[in-house]
């Protein structure tokens, strides 16, 4: 039993410290996800070891010290998404926000057949804008007739590779674009949204590839950081939404925020885990909304599941540019910008390789 605890503890310790390596290798980046779970399991292992065997030797003390460091390493990442930390995104102080909008976001899961249950949820929530990740042509045809009645503006790119995307809006869209930033089968959207009062903001929707077995994350990092740079250069305040296939506490997400100078409303509030809806004990915050300090938070909610492996999310923001200076935002330094440039270059090269493989019939 003692040997088993030591082996298990050092496996968890390895998970904790391996994730510190700045590498896009899938077997490293996937360790960004279970930081909370590793911290909990390693804490249980540590307590069990002390309870069963005590602290009687230098070797045992050294082992436990290493485990404590591994736990603290994991906790320092997820700690920012607890109420113990000061919130990053401030709430509106207006009793009746007069320039507000609600954005609903859902990864519908392409193979999910509960189209009508999803549609009922959308009609009940009645958001001003709706982002759908993973819809194929079947999904599009199943919802289009009802949604087109409510949403006069849309951007549509249903694809049967689990990276399709649909965006529906009650507000006017200017210069809507379907872009393929890194790979020619992974779309993202951009549009200028015109609020009823005439104010405008830029909206980006993204859904890059996740880390998977033998599939590294160069293209995910590149797509997110390319969008971050565009946001920074955009003269309009911006919102970025989508299934980023990355957790809120990863280095990539942190770098995205620093380059874009955007806020995360979950900091100081909670995890808002959205995946996996089928496994309560193993859930992670993969669906994100980031925004410029010109917006104030009204509400952020995780909505009921509807058959997908993701929970949908609804966020209500109020456009208050006159108070933009009151919200502190992340800022990139020289090292951050250099890191971003290198990751973008690596990702673009990897994207070109994958595109070439698909054209030659050898890629996935």
**Domain of residue 213, CATH code:** 3.60.10.10
What Cα–Cα distance (Å) separates residue 235 from each residue in 192, 231, 327? 11, 8, 18
**CA angle, corner 30, sides to 34 and 159, nearest 5?**
115
Q: Which of 226, 215, 286, 292 is nearest to 255 (CA)?
A: 226
Range of the domain at 12: 2-81
- Place 53 in a pLDDT band, splitting at 50, 70 and 90: confident
Judge if 263 and 153 occupy the same domain. yes
| pTM summary value | 0.94
Q: Are residues 151 and 62 in the same domain?
A: no
β-strand pairing of 238-243 with 100-107: unpaired
Query: Is 161 part of a structural domain of the chain?
Result: yes
Give the DSSP H/E element, type plus range, for residue 142. Answer: helix 137-150
The reply to whether omega before 276 is within 30° of 0 (cis) is: yes
53 beta partners: none
DSSP H or E stretch at residue 107: strand 100-107
Residue 317 pairs in a beta bridge with 101, 297
Q: Within this chain, do residues 290 and 213 fall inside the same structural domain, yes or no?
A: yes
The Cα–Cα gap between 156 and 3 comes to 56
Whether 209 and 284 map to the same domain: the answer is yes
* In-domain check, residue 90: no
Q: Report the alpha-carbon distance of residue 288 to residue 110 in Å, rounded.
A: 19
Whether 65 and 105 share a structural domain: no
How many domains does the structure of the chain reveal?
2
Q: What is the pLDDT of residues 240-260, one digit of tens each?
A: 999 999 999 999 999 999 999
Kindly tell me if the per-residue pLDDT of 56 is higher than 80: no
pLDDT in tens, 156-210: 999 999 999 999 999 999 999 999 999 999 999 999 999 999 999 999 999 999 9
Shared domain check, 104 and 77: no
283, 226: one domain: yes
> Is 321 in the same domain as 247?
yes
Decide if 351 contacts 226 (C-beta within 8 A). no
Same domain, 105 and 72: no
In this structure, are 146 and 286 located in the same domain?
A: yes
Domain membership flag for residue 363: no
The answer as to whether 331 is a domain residue is no
Q: Which pLDDT tens digit goes with each residue over 76-116?
A: 999 999 999 999 999 999 999 999 999 999 999 999 999 99
């Amino acid at each position: 039993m003692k040997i088993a605890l030591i082996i298990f503890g050092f496996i968890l310790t390895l998970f904790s410290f391996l994730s510190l390596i700045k590498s896009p290798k899938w077997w490293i980046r996937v360790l960004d996800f279970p930081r909370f779970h590793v911290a909990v399991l390693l804490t249980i292992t540590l307590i069990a070891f002390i309870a069963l065997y005590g602290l009687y030797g230098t070797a045992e003390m050294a082992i436990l010290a290493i485990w404590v460091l591994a736990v603290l390493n994991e906790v320092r990442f997820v700690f920012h998404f607890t109420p113990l930390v000061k919130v990053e995104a401030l709430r509106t102080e207006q009793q009746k926000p007069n320039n507000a909008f609600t954005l609903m976001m859902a990864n519908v899961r392409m193979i999910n057949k509960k189209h009508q249950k999803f549609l009922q949820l959308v009609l009940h929530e009645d958001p001003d804008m709706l982002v759908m990740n993973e819809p194929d042509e079947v999904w599009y045809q199943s919802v289009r007739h009802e949604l087109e009645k409510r949403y006069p503006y849309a951007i549509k790119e249903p694809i049967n590779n689990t990276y399709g995307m649909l965006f529906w809006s009650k507000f006017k869209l200017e210069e809507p674009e379907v872009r393929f930033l890194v790979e020619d089968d992974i779309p993202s959207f951009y549009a200028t949204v015109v609020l009823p009062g005439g104010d405008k903001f830029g909206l980006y929707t993204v859904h890059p590839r996740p880390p998977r077995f033998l599939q590294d994350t160069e293209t995910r990092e590149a797509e997110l950081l390319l969008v971050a740079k565009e946001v920074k250069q955009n003269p309009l305040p911006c919102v970025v939404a989508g299934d980023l296939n990355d957790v809120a506490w990863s280095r990539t997400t942190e770098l995205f925020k620093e380059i874009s100078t955007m806020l995360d409303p979950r900091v100081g509030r909670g995890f808002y885990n959205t995946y996996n809806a089928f496994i309560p004990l193993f859930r992670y915050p993969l669906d994100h909304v980031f925004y410029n300090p010109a917006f104030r938070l009204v509400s952020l909610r995780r909505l009921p599941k509807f058959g997908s492996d993701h929970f949908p999310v609804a966020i209500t923001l109020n456009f208050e540019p006159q108070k933009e200076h009151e919200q502190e935002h992340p800022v990139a330094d020289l090292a951050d910008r250099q890191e971003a440039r290198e990751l973008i270059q690596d990702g673009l090269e990897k994207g070109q390789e994958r595109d070439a493989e698909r054209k030659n019939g050898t890629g996935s």
